[in-house]
A and B are shown apart, each in its own frame.
Chain A
Amino acid sequence: MLSESARVTTAHEAGFRVQYPNSRERAAKIIALDAEAAKALEPVSREHWHGAAFFTSLSFSAPSAPGQTLDAWLNDVAGHAMNLAAEVAEADYVVVITSAGEDSRAVSVIAEACKLRKKTLVGLILTHNGPTDEQVAASLKELRPYTRMLVVASGADYIEAMLTALRA
């Protein structure tokens, strides 16, 4: 006598699974931390995505009201500047991308916004330009305190693979 679990896990029964979406579109914010990463991200941003927004740099402006801290702005590939805090607030998760050895200090500002809104921050370090071990180590050191998951990828094609897998 087969148990229930034995029956429902057959290939035949798998055909009867509910064919209905089990999730809604999620807002991913993908942010390049340096120019090299922006270069890698730019062609990816032109693909068709579901609710993902791509940003190629971070800039700051004087506070909009006296007594406030600097305002941080994310610049998208079309040249629009979006408020960092507002973008993070509406995000489901945030991905930061840096090219190993490049200046990735902006991560701390993004991480602060993520922490405030309790958003998961994923870090991706690209090594496709052949950095030294020291440069990779420096990038790891920069991103490690802030990210829940940190990936070192040898190919820029991993950006698209990861975002597709995450339904970005």
Chain B
Amino acid sequence: MLRKEQNDYLSQTGPGTPLGNLFRCYWMPALLAEELPENDCPPVRVKLMSERLLAVRDSEGKYGLIDEFCAHRGVSLWFGRNEDCGLRCPYHGWKYDVTGQCVDVPSEAVESGYAKKIKLKNYPLIERGGVLWTYMGPADKQPPLPEFEFCTVPLNQTFTTKRVQECNWLQAMEGGIDSSHVSWLHRGDLSNDPLFKGAAGNKYNMQDMSPVFEVVENDGGLLIGARRNAEDDQYYWRITPWVMPCYTGVPPRGDHPIHGHFWVPIDDESCWAWSYDYHPTRPLSDVEVAAMKDGKGVHVKYVPGTYRPAANKDNDYLMNRAAQKAGKTFSGIEGIGMQDASLQESMGPLCDRTKENLVGTDNGIIMARHRLQRAAKALADKGTIPPGVDPEHHKVRQAALLLKHDMPFRDGAKEALKAKQGVRQTSV
């Protein structure tokens, strides 16, 4: 459990809040590159960490993320005309470039210099791995670009989607490090989902429903190992990395692509659940990509034309009680992504952790909260750069492997946990 003030501390990410300041130390996924598909395309409204912004791509292909609202009368520039290297407000014609600099105020003479004195808040926006990333912190503290493996492999080896999740970022992220729920909530999907089934390691999940856990601090966050009994004096380990503040990896299965998530706050009551799949050494097959587009694995089907899941709280997530009763799905909800999201959203837009009753196996969650609080406090008190900012911390991989009983997973999986170009994932 958390006291209310602790819960607020960890949940609130708006400007000036302790966690908000922490998040603003990192590059964050802002939108998919496909959302700004061509020069002078329509701008996209983006709300991140309680700031309303507008993503634009100008006539020369330059990206920018600027305050959504015109400095003149507060109109949303989403209605603007994207033309001649600038976004022109349709109300009175004020025009801004991708840096938020006003370049034209039609009512005032150019010679007056009036436009030069108008500038909207802006953040850098860069493309990496099909994702547009932004950094919303102080310009002089901007870190090097992100090096997560899913966004550094060739584009034909990676596939990323996002979906809106209608709850606070923390309860969504905590699902990503809560390894103990997998044996329950997702038990039906190991044998059915095309992106999971067939892996040799799946049998250990099915044979041993009581995994034992180890949590180890890592430079960038945590490594959470779940072990199950295997043959010949060995354990089957599934190792989940968490990189601060909101990146989680799902341990792989066989030669299936590796997947995981980013959990990015939209505001304090909703977040973007980013889901990636990639393979370190080969292109994704047409069958795999088709399955991902069809909402299999960690991805979801959408309400057409949106990034809102087709199964959502307005339709009770398309609950199928017959499938639940028959054991086809444990919760009655189809798909891993929505199985998680439905339950996390059911906690309410902001989970009241003063009422929760954690148990020993929740230590991954407890440790993550502890590290977030510690890092936010060190940032506030001493300006300490938090773990996970250094791109070296991004070069971690999830792993699934067999180790002898007396081998610490962190040592036994030392090489497996490193992202190395051209080296296949370690997976059973």
Contacts and interface: CB of A to CB of B under 8 A. Distances in A.
B214 interface: yes
B2 interface: yes
A106 interface: no
Contacts of A3: 313-316
Interface string B354-385: 01011111110011011001100000000000
B361 A148 contact: yes
Contacts of B1: 164-165, 167
Interface stretch (A10-18, A41-49, A69-77, A80-88): A10-18
A22 B359 contact: no
Interface stretch (A51-59, A60-68, A136-144): A136-144
Contacts of B357: 22-23, 167
Contacts of A165: 1-2, 358, 362, 366, 369
B376 to A, nearest CB: 14
A166 B353 CA distance: 12
Q: Chain B: interface secondary structure? A: mixed
Interface string B161-188: 0000011000000000000000000000
A153 B319 CA distance: 41
A143 to B, nearest CB: 10
Q: Chain A: interface secondary structure? A: mixed
Interface string A146-165: 01111111110110011011
Contact of B345 (A9, A153, A161): A9
Contacts of B3: 164
B212 A151 contact: no
Given A3-B314, A9-B349, A154 B269 contact: no
Nearest to A143: B214
Contacts of B313: 3, 5-6, 9
Contacts of B314: 2-3, 6
Given A11-B269, A14-B348, A153-B367, A5 B316 contact: yes
Nearest to B355: A22
B307 interface: no
A110 interface: no
Interface string B63-91: 00000000000000000000000000000
A77 B381 CA distance: 34
B286 interface: no
Contacts of B269: 11
B37 interface: no
Interface residues of A, number: 41
B361 A158 contact: no
A90 interface: no
B215 A150 contact: yes
B406 interface: yes
Contact of A162 (B212, B355, B363, B374): B363
A11 B270 CA distance: 11
A140 B214 contact: yes
Given A120-B359, A165-B369, A148 B212 contact: yes
Contacts of A5: 313, 316-317, 345-346
A4 B316 contact: yes
B349 A11 contact: yes
Nearest to A138: B408
A140 B405 CA distance: 11
B360 A153 contact: no
Contacts of A152: 214-217
Interface string B386-428: 0000000000000000000110100100000000000000000
B370 A158 contact: yes
Contact of B360 (A4, A136, A148): A148
A5 B216 CA distance: 37
A91 B197 CA distance: 41
7 pairs of A and B residues whose beta carbons are closest in the complex: A122-B360, A14-B348, A165-B366, A6-B313, A161-B370, A149-B360, A150-B214
25 contacts: A5-B316, A9-B345, A9-B348, A10-B348, A14-B352, A22-B357, A93-B360, A133-B411, A137-B408, A140-B408, A141-B408, A145-B405, A148-B212, A149-B214, A150-B212, A150-B215, A151-B216, A151-B363, A153-B367, A157-B370, A162-B363, A162-B366, A162-B367, A165-B2, A166-B358
